[in-house]
Amino acid sequence: MSSKNVEALMSSIRSPKKTILRADRSNLSNLPLEKIRQKPMTSVAIFSYNSLTTLSSGMVFEIANFGWKHSLTELHLDHNQIEIIPREISLFMQLRVLTFENNHVRSLPRDLGKLIKLEVLLFSHNEVLEIPLEFGQLTSLRKLSFTGNLVRKFPPNLARLENLRKVNFENNPIIYPPPDVTKQGWNVIRSYLNEPLKFITKRYTSCSNLSNASKFSDRSDLSDLSRTSRGSLGEMTSALRRVLIVPEARQSFASFLEKEYSLENLLFWQEVEHLNSIESQLQPEDYETEATKIYWKYIQEKTDDNCIDQTEKNTLAVNLSFEIKTRCSETFAKCQNEKKTDL
């Protein structure tokens, strides 16, 4: 066998001929099961530009078990009237390209995150409200398009997708990250999603005059910090400390907290920090009195007339969970009981 023939044979092995089922522009209202049965090892299925409205779970399950779950690498369902995508779509584990553009899809099944070989995912011009967190598992994804939907937030774990290079989210009411970040493109968005608080702190400290930091006080993006990857938690904590230390940055952060009805958390932190800073200047009984005031002011939701001034009675309690508040109350009561025993 000549070298050219060997090369041709190897090429055909590396790139086997695709079996294509074309049923686009066929005025279909349902998937053509008879055609599908005739091509059990189809690798590319094209059902674009039809009138498909429903993909039932049973139908998708049946098609997958015809053999498509082992062979299908491309599925094109764009330009139809589909409203719901069944979770069984994840049975096509070999999928590399999935197109659902120009339909009426509002929600996406979390099981899409199981398609770990997926490289191209196109959902532009639908009515999608939210991107599932499970999309962070699509490690092979190279192109993602959600132009013209109703998405408000990027899921933070999209930043983990190292192969993702092309991301389109134009014409969505995005609030997280904020517009001044999203307009700079995917690389900046990725950096922001990885370390949002560090990104914000850098913006503060890079200002020639820190008094200008107030222009960031309208940001509502800190509400998603809890969903950031754990790997950057240490750096985020350090960045938060710096925000709290710089007076101008702390004031801007306070403005944000006030809008979120959680300013009391920062006030609580400030009072505790102040008390700790003057501990050496106070007598033990005075320190205990001040600590007791802070406790009754922020932790105990129902204040006692004898414990704090009347002017402090209406102060909001710290936004802690019921479990933590209960633990604080139990600890405080225990300390009070120990004090009485000592007396």
CATH number of domain containing 272: 1.10.167
Do 49 and 127 belong together in one domain? yes
Give me the CATH number covering residue 96: 3.80.10.10
Residue 323 included in any domain: yes
Q: Domain boundary residue among 194, 225, 243?
A: 194
Do 185 and 237 belong together in one domain? no
* The overall pTM is greater than 0.85: no
Do 148 and 237 belong together in one domain? no
Ranges under pLDDT 50 in the chain: 1-15, 197, 200-201, 203-231, 261, 301-316, 318, 339-340, 342-343
Give residue 181's pLDDT. 84
Do 61 and 109 belong together in one domain? yes
Do 242 and 159 belong together in one domain? no
Do 174 and 255 belong together in one domain? no
Residue 256 included in any domain: yes
Residue 202 included in any domain: no
Do 64 and 156 belong together in one domain? yes
Output the CA angle 217-218-219, nearest 5 degrees. Answer: 95
Do 48 and 144 belong together in one domain? yes
Give residue 231's pLDDT. 46
Give residue 338's pLDDT. 52
Residue 130 included in any domain: yes
Do 149 and 269 belong together in one domain? no
Residue 201 included in any domain: no
Give residue 68's pLDDT. 94
Residue 326 included in any domain: yes
Do 56 and 168 belong together in one domain? yes
Residue 215 included in any domain: yes
Q: Domain boundary residue among 136, 168, 194?
A: 194
Give residue 14's pLDDT. 42
Residues spanned by the domain of 76: 3-194
Do 185 and 278 belong together in one domain? no
Residue 200 included in any domain: no
Kindly report, residue by residue over 64-111, the tens digit of the pLDDT.
Answer: 998 899 999 999 999 999 999 999 999 999 999 999 999 999 999 999
Give residue 205's pLDDT. 45
Give residue 337's pLDDT. 58
Q: Domain boundary residue among 170, 194, 218?
A: 194
Do 83 and 118 belong together in one domain? yes
**Structural domain tally of the chain?**
2
